Amino acid sequence: MVATDLKALVLYGPNLNLTGFREPDLYGKKPLEDIDAELREEAEKLGIELRILQSNHEGVLIDTIQENRKWANAIIINPGALTHYSIALRDALSSVRLPVFEVHLSNIYAREEFRHHSVISPISVGCIVGCGGYGFILALQAVRNLIAEVV
């Protein structure tokens, strides 16, 4: 695969649109638009084409995963609270057979017990937690560096 061949679908789940405003001690002060801008900049450097979507609706996330199954080479997702219980989202991700990278702004393992379990992690190639918005940059670098090995 050549350097401009990769396409990544980036998905943000419920309440991620409030990043920067909601619980800044946990999720950081940077708005999602700024995280997006940095991600697009990094994607340009890495030669990765991006499609980015934030939705508060499980079904919209699932539709988007299905619709992009032939376009994307990888999926980077912060499923928000759906992480902890959405079998439907997990099934959608495993159905399309694309490498998944799970990202969380906060360190879910250092928080309430109900956040310690992710139904998405077992079907993910890699998981990045607790690095704030920078976690998405790390995930993008992982896509660039690992994808040839996992696709």
Site of interaction with ligand DQA (CB under 6 A): 15, 78, 80-81, 83, 104-106, 108, 115
| Eight-state DSSP code of residue 85 | T
Which residue's CB is nearer to ligand DQA, number 6 or number 137? 137
Question: Is 27 labeled as catalytic in the residue annotation?
Answer: yes
Angle among Cα 87, 60, 25 to the nearest 5 degrees reads 75
Give the active site residue among 12, 27, 85, 109: 27
* Closer by beta carbon to ligand DQA, 81 or else 148: 81
Shortest distance, position 107 Cβ to ligand DQA, whole Å? 8
Catalytic status, residue 57: no
Q: CA–CA separation, 14 vs 9, rounded Å?
A: 16
Residue closer to ligand DQA (CB basis): 6 or 120:
120
**Residue 93, class by beta-carbon neighbours within 10 Å (0-12 exposed, 13-18 middle, 19+ buried)?**
buried
- Give the neighbor-by-neighbor strand order of the sheet with 126-129: 48-54, 6-12, 74-78, 100-104, 126-129
Nearer to ligand DQA, 93 or 108 (CB): 108
Q: How far is the CB of 91 from ligand DQA (least distance, A)?
A: 19
**Closest residue by Cα to residue 127 from 79, 70, 89, 55:** 79
Cβ at position 50, least distance to ligand DQA in Å:
19
Alpha carbon 7 to its chain centroid, in Å, reads 13
Catalytic choice (85, 104, 109, 117): 104
Closest contact distance (angstroms) between CB of 122 and ligand DQA is 16
**Which residue numbers are catalytic?**
27, 104
